[in-house]
Chain A
Amino acid sequence: MGGASSSQSRIVKAQGHLTPGHLAVTLGVLAALALAALVFAVATGSTEVSLQESLVALAGGGEALSRTLILELRLPRALAAFATGGLLAVAGALMQVLLRNPLADPYVLGLSGGAAVGALLAMLAGLGSALISGSAFAGALTATLLVFGLAHGTGSWTPSRLLLTGVVVASGWGAVITLILSLSPARQLPGMLYWLMGDLAHARAPGAALGLLALVCLLVVPLGRSLNVLARGGLQAAALGVAVRRLEWLIYLLASLVTAVAVTTAGSIGFVGLVVPHMLRLVLGNDQRLILPACALAGGTLLVLADTLARTIIAPEQLPVGVITALLGVPTFLYLLHRSR
């Protein structure tokens, strides 16, 4: 075993030196960017509130109106955007390691489909917003357990088998979503479509999502070394003494829980979970100990910026946040890809 773990650390070293100093500086810079994005989000809106007034309101002072705008409307929404973006990016990074597939994202195994079916059924039944969230969460967990059960039940298990199971189940969910949409009263369609596009206007108290984001970061960092090995292939990881099957299921369940909370908070926002991990890998290299916490910060920052623009660009009209995430993310990603050649 000793030999295995020393060769494991050799491999990790070969991927590039990650010193504590490097880690701290990178994460420090990303955290500063995240904070700047949050301040920008809180100070920007369809109503003019100066930066100074915003900060005064954040501290609990100032006029009642600006306090309401900042503390009741903008801050909870910005924090919800940050948590959602961070969770999706972390889940995407985990899924890409788990499935060894660069196209994997948090939704690839049908989790968002299950959540959407739950949410749309609740909307169809005319339930309140709290029950819609609850129903979405239940749908996400159902989807997770369904894929887990189907892929687990078979004797031989490989990531590609999990991927195929998940993708097929996801198409099944897609069909159910289309069925619900076509049977729903016309008046409910806009709300349903906005949910499917992802919309932070519905985001409720961000506390739980933020807490989970912090918890997941603490949880996955100790796993980073094993994830690094796993990313290079299951056989190699097993040879190096990693309990592959257990680690893979742990990643799967963790990523699913994280995605379920994100989707419950703001609907199925696309793009962040797929592209943010890739962007960071292009810039920072592929060391999971750095990539995972960096995903939490960068994913959150991207979604905060995108949501701020979505609610202000053509105010009072409100755009779906997914439009802006893609418009900001696609050129950035292509630039990084081009530069890395």
Chain B
Amino acid sequence: MFPRLPVMLGVLLAVLFGLVGRVLADEVCAIDDGGREVCLAAPAQRIASLSPGATELLFASGAGDRLVAVVDHSDFPPEAVKLPSVGSHDRLDLERLVTLQPDLVIAWVTGNPAEQVERLERLGVPVFRIEPRDFEGIATALERLARLAGSEAQGRQAAERFRQGLAELAARHADAPPVPVFYQVWDSPLMTVNDEHLIGKVVTLCGGVNVFGDLSRLVPRIGEEALLAADPEVLLAGGRGEENRSWLDYWRRYPDLTAVARDNLFFVPPSLLQRPTPRLLEGSRLLCEKLEVARGRR
């Protein structure tokens, strides 16, 4: 009765599969640092970044032109400064964020208020949480963000450049003589980092030995006496702002400290070390150079 039915059915099925295939081809998925898989029906077009670090990562992975919202202190790259802010990372203006209608929000696991991020999810906004804790975490964050934003090639390139740069540094300093190092995060209270911290990992990468690396807290608060007792060969400091060396000058009151006696008091711009972004490579190069200088002064 319907001799052409099988043919028609076949065509219909082919069309359907084709459509499904197209839909599936557009779908992008990535696993976030909370361990959950986030899938979007199509690459994100309107992205909101809830940390200055995520903003840098997004620009580096080629998704900068799809950013519609950032948080305060998103100062790199310079284009980021012009984007609308939705408050500070630890106190978000959810209303303004929702009004910008993002189709993907990049949250910061421990930096953003959990309740506000959960509320965004309840409102149906896809949330991707990141918090790179090591070099590889930064590289994969670049790749994962690029996948969600549909700029995979650029993301992969950025990740490769980062991995390669670090591998070169590691190879160069693998056999370098160890240097006892103190890294100062803050002056009052006096704070440093342990070996688990990204900065601690950079110190190790450059052949340094973090004198407080074994402490259990990620950012330990320590006493001045403990530092004097540890007597590091190099004192490294970030500081308030990018050009403030007063923290280092403070230590000159202890001329018997090895680091002071050899003038191994070095400043490293904190924005190059304290954010988990590709700029960490630049910070690492600087830090390695300082340790080389210190080795030369032995």
Binding site for B on A (CB under 8 A): 45-47, 65, 68-69, 72-74, 128-129, 182, 185-188, 190-191, 194, 199, 201-202, 204, 311, 315-318
Q: Is the CB of B91 within 8 A of A188?
A: no
A247 to B115, CA, bound (A): 39
Q: Is the CB of A128 within 8 A of B93?
A: no
A74-B95, A185-B219, A188-B110 known; A68 vs B87 contact (CB < 8 Å): no
Q: Taking chain B's interface residues, is the majority helix, strand, or loop, or is none over half, making it mixed?
A: mixed
Q: Is the CB of A201 within 8 A of B113?
A: yes
Interchain nearest-CB distance for A6 vs B (Å): 55
**A-B CB contact pairs (8 Å), 9 listed:** A68-B123, A72-B119, A73-B94, A129-B114, A185-B110, A185-B217, A194-B90, A194-B113, A311-B95
Q: Is the CB of B113 within 8 A of A191?
A: yes
| B85 cross-chain contacts in A, Cβ below 8 A | 316
A128-B114, A202-B113 known; A185 vs B218 contact (CB < 8 Å): yes
Q: Is the CB of B118 within 8 A of A129?
A: yes
| A185 cross-chain contacts in B, Cβ below 8 A | 110, 217-219
| A45 cross-chain contacts in B, Cβ below 8 A | 95
Interchain nearest-CB distance for B119 vs A (Å): 8
Interchain nearest-CB distance for B100 vs A (Å): 9
Interchain nearest-CB distance for A315 vs B (Å): 6
Task: Say yes or no for B86: interface residue by CB 8 A criterion.
Answer: yes
Task: Say yes or no for B221: interface residue by CB 8 A criterion.
Answer: yes
Interchain nearest-CB distance for B164 vs A (Å): 30
Q: Is the CB of B95 within 8 A of A47?
A: yes
A185-B219, A202-B115, A316-B93 known; A72 vs B87 contact (CB < 8 Å): no
A185-B218, A187-B110, A194-B91 known; A201 vs B96 contact (CB < 8 Å): no
| A194 cross-chain contacts in B, Cβ below 8 A | 90-91, 113
Task: Say yes or no for B98: interface residue by CB 8 A criterion.
Answer: yes
Binding site for A on B (CB under 8 A): 72, 85-88, 90-96, 98-99, 101, 110-111, 113-116, 118-119, 122-123, 191, 217-219, 221
Q: Is the CB of A46 within 8 A of B98?
A: no
| B93 cross-chain contacts in A, Cβ below 8 A | 46, 311, 315-318
| B88 cross-chain contacts in A, Cβ below 8 A | 317-318
Interchain nearest-CB distance for A211 vs B (Å): 21
| B191 cross-chain contacts in A, Cβ below 8 A | 186
Q: Is the CB of B118 within 8 A of A191?
A: no
| B111 cross-chain contacts in A, Cβ below 8 A | 187
A73 to B86, CA, bound (A): 15
A46 to B114, CA, bound (A): 21
Which residue in B87, B101, B123, B218 is a CB contact (below 8 Å) of A316? B87
| B72 cross-chain contacts in A, Cβ below 8 A | 317
Q: Is the CB of B95 within 8 A of A318?
A: no
User: Which of B95, B98, B115, B116 has most chain A Cβ within 10 Å?
Assistant: B95
Interchain nearest-CB distance for A196 vs B (Å): 14
Q: Is the CB of B113 within 8 A of A315?
A: no
A186 to B99, CA, bound (A): 31
A182-B221, A202-B115 known; A190 vs B90 contact (CB < 8 Å): yes
| Closest CB pairs A-B (n = 4) | A316-B93, A129-B115, A316-B87, A190-B90
| B92 cross-chain contacts in A, Cβ below 8 A | 201, 316, 318
Q: Is the CB of B99 within 8 A of A201?
A: no
Interchain nearest-CB distance for B266 vs A (Å): 23
Q: Is the CB of A73 within 8 A of B219?
A: no
A311 to B221, CA, bound (A): 34
| A68 cross-chain contacts in B, Cβ below 8 A | 98, 123
Which residue in A65, A202, A204 is a CB contact (below 8 Å) of B101? A65
Which residue in A46, A182, A186 is a CB contact (below 8 Å) of B95? A46
A191-B113, A316-B85, A316-B86 known; A73 vs B118 contact (CB < 8 Å): no
Q: Is the CB of A46 within 8 A of B115?
A: no
| B95 cross-chain contacts in A, Cβ below 8 A | 45-47, 69, 73-74, 311, 315
A69 to B98, CA, bound (A): 8
| A201 cross-chain contacts in B, Cβ below 8 A | 91-92, 94, 113, 115-116
Which residue in B98, B99, B113, B115 is a CB contact (below 8 Å) of A204? B115
A187 to B118, CA, bound (A): 19
Residue of A nearest to B71 (CB): A316
Q: Is the CB of B123 within 8 A of A318?
A: no
| A188 cross-chain contacts in B, Cβ below 8 A | 110
| A318 cross-chain contacts in B, Cβ below 8 A | 87-88, 91-93
